[in-house]
Chains A and B, each alone.
Chain A
C-alpha cells in the first residue's frame, strides 16, 4: 500500500467515524464501565498479554463483521449478550437437585452452596410432576428422583437457612407453577418482599412438554397456554425480577431433533409465547427481558458453539423486527445450559467425567449465563453427594484453571465457527419457515408436525449408532471386555423418614381450615372459568391457606382439561 493511500484513508477516518469505530468505541466504553474492579491484566504462560476480545482489527476489517457478528453486548449479539461476558462475570453454577424429603433437599442444597454453587434449583418428585400428593403414592416411588414438596411447609423446610432474597432460585415445575407459589408464600412468611425474589420458572414452556418431555405434561394444551400467559402477567406485576418464561430447547434436542432443528423449534416456541402475551395486550419490552432459554449442550463441540451463536443472532432480529421490542434487553437471548445426559454411557462410566468437561466447554464458548454439569453416574441413578461434587468441581476447574474465560467469544473469527454459525442460522430459519407456514408452533405441535420431524431425526441418529458410523467409546468401539465393574452407589430415601413425611402431611391436612380450603378451591375454579381473572394469582392465594399441590392440579384438570401428550410413532 502506498503512503498516500494510507494517508488518505487516515484523513477520511478523521473526517467521519466509521460505523465499526462507533461500535468499537461504544463497546470499549461499556466494557470499561462495567468491568470495574474486575479489570486485570491477564498474561498467558508465555508472558503475552491476553486481550479481552479479538476482532477483525486483529485480522481484516469487513462490513460483514459488524452485521453478522458485531461486538459483545451489541446487536445481533452473536458474540455474547454482555459487553464483558465471562471476563466480567462467569456463569451461575446452578446444579439441579432433587431427592428425598424436604429435609434431605435442604441438607444437599446447603452443601452445594458451600461448595461454590451460587444458585439453587429444585426438582420435584415424579409423583409431583404427575400432579398427585405423597399420601396416595406407593412409598418406593417417593423421592427417588426429586423432592416430595406438596405444600408451603414443605417448601419452607427445603429453603431453611437459604437466603432466598440473595440467591437465584430455579423452580422446575410446569404449569400451574405450584412450587413457585409455595416459594412466594415462604417469602411472605419471612417478610421478604417479592421484588427481592430472583430466579426462573424453569421449563415453563408447555409446548416442549407436549412434544418431548411428556412427564411434565399434565394440563390440556389450551389450558397450559392460558395458565402460562396468566403466570407471565402475574409476575410482571408482582414479582418483577423473576423470569416466568423459560423456553426449552433441551427436551426437543434430547428427544432426537438435530441441533439446527432445536434452534428453529425453540425460537418458534418463543415467538408463540411472546405473541400470546402481545395478544393479551402486554408490551414486548415489558415481557421479553424476562424471557430465558434452557438448552441442552451435547458433545458435538463446534456445532454446539455455533448453535448458541446462531440462536442469539436470530432471536435478536426476531425480537426487534418481528415482535417490535425497542429495549436492547429484550433482544438478548440469555440461557441456562445443562450438559447432556444422552451422551453419557453406562459402559466405562468414569469416562463420562471427560465427556461432561467437553460439553461444558462448548457451553462456555457458546456464551452461557448459567450451567448445570451432569454427574458421571447419571446413566445409573440420581447423583450421589460424591458424584455431584465432581460435577461441580468440573465447572470450577474450567473456570479457575483452564483460562477459558479470559477472552470473550474466543472462537469468534475462526473461519470454521463463523461459517458454521451462518449455516446453523440458515438451517434453523428453514425450520422456522415451516412452522410459520403451519400457522405457528402451537398449531404445528397440535397436528404433530414437530413430533414427526423429531421422530425422523431420532431414528436416523439411532441408525448411525447401530451401523457403527457414529462411534461411542466403550459402546460400539474400544469396548473393554475386562472392564471392572465400578461400584455405583444407589441411594434411596430412608423409608422410615419418608413414611414420617407422609404421616405429617396427612396430619397437616386434618388440621387445616376446611372452610378456607373450600373457599380457595372455589375461587380457583371461578378464575379458571373466567377470562378476566388470573389463574396463577388464585394458585398463590390457595397455596397460602394450605391447599396442596395435588388439590390445585386436580381442580385445574377438571376445569381446564387433563392433558395427554401427542405421541407420534
Chain B
C-alpha cells in the first residue's frame, strides 16, 4: 500500500517572532506577531534579547517554518551570524525575514546571507502577511521534499 503523508499545507504554518541582540524596542515584533496570528499562522513569540543559540534551539524544538526578526537598533548586523548557525544546525530549510530600521547600505549583506524579506517602516500589514505566507510555503515545500527523500 502506498504510504500517505499528511498534506503539510493542511496544518497552519509556524512562525517564530523574536529579537536578538541588545535592543528592547518590542512594539514592532508584537504587532507583527499579532498580524501573523490573525492571518491564521501559529506564532511562537519571545521577548527581546534572545541569544542566537537560543533562537536556533527554539526553531528546532518548535519545528518552525519561518523566523521573523525585529531590529530597531542595529541588531540586524548579527543576522548573518544567525543564518550561519541555522545552517550549521541543519535548519537551512527555515526561511528568515526581518523588519525594522535597516539602512539601505546594509541590505545587500542581509540578502546575501539568505534573508527572504526586509520590511522598513510604513510597510503594510498585507505586504508583511503575504511575504510571510509565501516564505512559509517555500520552507514547507522544502521540508516535504526532504521528508519524501528520507522515506
Which positions in A face B, CB cutoff 8 Å?
125-127, 129-130, 132, 137-138, 140-141, 144-145, 213-217, 255-256, 345-347, 379-381, 458, 462, 466, 475, 485, 488, 490, 492, 564-565, 567, 569
User: Is A381 touching B103 in the complex (CB atoms < 8 A)?
Assistant: yes
| Given contact pairs A141-B74, A141-B77, A569-B30, A379 touches B48 in the complex (Cβ within 8 A) | no
How many A-B residue pairs have C-beta atoms within 8 angstroms? Tell me.
Answer: 80
CB-defined A-B contacts under 8 Å, sample of 19: A132-B22, A137-B22, A140-B74, A140-B77, A140-B78, A141-B74, A141-B75, A141-B77, A145-B73, A145-B74, A214-B26, A214-B47, A215-B22, A255-B27, A345-B121, A345-B122, A346-B120, A466-B124, A567-B26
Q: Which of B117-132 contact A (CB under 8 A)?
A: 120-122, 124-125
B34–chain A nearest beta-carbon distance, Å: 7
* A485 neighbours in B (Cβ, 8 Å): 104
* B125 neighbours in A (Cβ, 8 Å): 466
B23 interface residue per 8 A CB criterion: yes
Q: Which of B93-137 contact A (CB under 8 A)?
A: 101, 103-106, 120-122, 124-125
User: Is A144 touching B104 in the complex (CB atoms < 8 A)?
Assistant: no
B23–chain A nearest beta-carbon distance, Å: 5
Smallest CB gap from A213: residue in B: B24
What is the bound-complex CA distance between A145 and B23, given in angstroms?
A: 9
A368–chain B nearest beta-carbon distance, Å: 24
B101 CB contact (under 8 Å) in A132, A138, A379, A492: A379
User: Is B47 touching A490 in the complex (CB atoms < 8 A)?
Assistant: no
| Given contact pairs A214-B48, A379-B121, A567 touches B30 in the complex (Cβ within 8 A) | yes
B88–chain A nearest beta-carbon distance, Å: 17
B118–chain A nearest beta-carbon distance, Å: 13
What is the bound-complex CA distance between A381 and B117, given in angstroms?
A: 20
* B103 neighbours in A (Cβ, 8 Å): 380-381, 488, 490
Smallest CB gap from A138: residue in B: B78
* B124 neighbours in A (Cβ, 8 Å): 466
User: Is A126 touching B21 in the complex (CB atoms < 8 A)?
Assistant: yes
User: Is B104 touching A214 in the complex (CB atoms < 8 A)?
Assistant: no
What is the bound-complex CA distance between A458 and B27, given in angstroms?
A: 9
User: Is B105 touching A490 in the complex (CB atoms < 8 A)?
Assistant: yes
Which positions in B face A, CB cutoff 8 Å?
21-27, 30-31, 33-34, 45, 47-49, 73-75, 77-78, 81, 101, 103-106, 120-122, 124-125
What is the bound-complex CA distance between A346 and B122, given in angstroms?
A: 7
What is the bound-complex CA distance between A564 and B121, given in angstroms?
A: 27
User: Is B48 touching A144 in the complex (CB atoms < 8 A)?
Assistant: no
User: Is A216 touching B24 in the complex (CB atoms < 8 A)?
Assistant: yes
User: Is A127 touching B47 in the complex (CB atoms < 8 A)?
Assistant: no
What is the bound-complex CA distance between A567 and B121, given in angstroms?
A: 22
User: Is B105 touching A214 in the complex (CB atoms < 8 A)?
Assistant: no
B106 CB contact (under 8 Å) in A137, A213, A379, A490: A490
A123–chain B nearest beta-carbon distance, Å: 11
* A346 neighbours in B (Cβ, 8 Å): 120-122
Smallest CB gap from B49: residue in A: A130
Most buried by A among B22, B49, B75: B22
B132–chain A nearest beta-carbon distance, Å: 17
Q: A462-B31, A466-B124 are in contact. List 14 more A-B contacts (CB 8 A).
A: A126-B22, A126-B24, A140-B74, A145-B23, A214-B24, A215-B24, A215-B25, A216-B24, A485-B104, A488-B103, A490-B103, A490-B106, A569-B34, A569-B45
What is the bound-complex CA distance between A490 and B122, given in angstroms?
A: 20
* A132 neighbours in B (Cβ, 8 Å): 22
B21 CB contact (under 8 Å) in A141, A214, A256: A141
What is the bound-complex CA distance between A127 and B75, given in angstroms?
A: 11
Smallest CB gap from B126: residue in A: A466
Smallest CB gap from B75: residue in A: A141
What is the bound-complex CA distance between A215 and B45, given in angstroms?
A: 17
* B74 neighbours in A (Cβ, 8 Å): 140-141, 144-145, 492
Smallest CB gap from B73: residue in A: A145
What is the bound-complex CA distance between A488 and B34, given in angstroms?
A: 31
* B78 neighbours in A (Cβ, 8 Å): 138, 140-141
* A126 neighbours in B (Cβ, 8 Å): 21-24, 73
What is the bound-complex CA distance between A126 and B75, given in angstroms?
A: 10
User: Is B23 touching A215 in the complex (CB atoms < 8 A)?
Assistant: yes
What is the bound-complex CA distance between A138 and B51, given in angstroms?
A: 11
What is the bound-complex CA distance between A214 and B22, given in angstroms?
A: 11
User: Is A256 touching B27 in the complex (CB atoms < 8 A)?
Assistant: yes
Smallest CB gap from B104: residue in A: A488
User: Is B21 touching A380 in the complex (CB atoms < 8 A)?
Assistant: no
* B49 neighbours in A (Cβ, 8 Å): 130
* B31 neighbours in A (Cβ, 8 Å): 462
Smallest CB gap from B81: residue in A: A138
B63–chain A nearest beta-carbon distance, Å: 22
Smallest CB gap from B30: residue in A: A569
Most buried by A among B74, B75, B101: B74
B37–chain A nearest beta-carbon distance, Å: 9
* B27 neighbours in A (Cβ, 8 Å): 255-256, 458
What is the bound-complex CA distance between A126 and B71, given in angstroms?
A: 13
* A564 neighbours in B (Cβ, 8 Å): 47
What is the bound-complex CA distance between A462 and B30, given in angstroms?
A: 12
* A565 neighbours in B (Cβ, 8 Å): 24, 47
